[in-house]
Amino acid sequence: MTENIENNENVVATEVVEAPAELTAGQMLHNARTTGRRKREIPTIAKQLCIREEFLEALEKGDYAVIPEPVYILGFARNYAMELGLDPDEIVAKIKKEMGLTADCTDSDDVTACAMPSIEEESWAKVYFVKVYQFIYQHWIWFAGAVVAIALVVLGIVLLSGPEKAEEVATLAPVVEEVISTEPEYKLTVRERFGTDNRDKANVILQASQESWVKVEDGRGNTVFSRVLVPGDVYYVPVGNKYKATFGNAGGIDIWVNGKLIPDAGADHTRKSGIMLNPDSLLGKNKK
Domain final residue pick, 138, 157, 174 = 138
111, 138, 165 — which closes off a domain?
138
Kindly state whether residues 126 and 202 are assigned to the same domain.
no
Distance of alpha carbon 246 from alpha carbon 253, whole angstroms: 11
Could you tell me if residue 15 is inside a domain?
no
Give the per-residue pLDDT at 222: 92
For the chain, which ranges sit under pLDDT 70?
1-20, 102-131, 133-135, 137-139, 161-182, 285-288
Write out pLDDT tens, residues 72-106.
888 899 998 998 889 999 999 999 988 887 544 44
Burial of residue 222 (CB within 10 Å: 0-12, 13-18, 19+) is exposed
Same-domain pairing of 131 and 205: no
Q: What angle do CA 8, 9, 15 make, to 5 degrees?
A: 90
- Please tell me whether residues 200 and 282 are part of one structural domain: yes
Which residue segment(s) compose the domain that 250 sits in?
A: 193-287
Residue 148 in any domain: the answer is no
Residue 174: which region, alpha, beta or left (left: phi > 0; alpha: psi -120 to 50)?
A: beta
pLDDT for position 70: 81
Q: 263-276 burial, b if ≥16 CB within 10 A, otherwise e? A: ebbbeeeeebeebb
Strand partners, 235: 194, 206
| Domains contained in the chain, number | 2
In a domain, 109, yes or no: yes
CATH (domain of 54): 1.10.260.40
Answer yes or no: is 154 within a domain.
no
The pLDDT, as a whole number, for residue 108 is 44
Q: What is the pLDDT of residue 145?
A: 82
131 and 207 share a domain?
Answer: no
Of 122, 138, 154, which closes a domain? 138
β-pairing, 234-236 vs 260-262, is unpaired
Query: In angstroms, rounded to a whole number, what is the distance separating the alpha carbons of residues 44 and 214?
Result: 74
Other C-beta atoms closer than 10 Å to the C-beta of 42 total 19
pLDDT value, residue 262: 93
The answer to whether position 149 is within a domain reads: no
Q: Is residue 239 part of a domain?
A: yes
Residues 6+ apart with CB under 8 A from 229: 194, 206, 207, 208, 211, 212, 213, 214, 235, 253
* Residue 218: inside a domain: yes
pTM: 0.39
Q: Do residue 207 and residue 100 come from a single domain?
A: no
C-alpha 284/C-alpha 277 separation (Å) is 12
Clarify whether residues 46 and 110 are in a common domain: yes
| 27 and 115, same domain (yes or no) | yes
* Tens of pLDDT, residues 252-264: 999 999 989 999 9
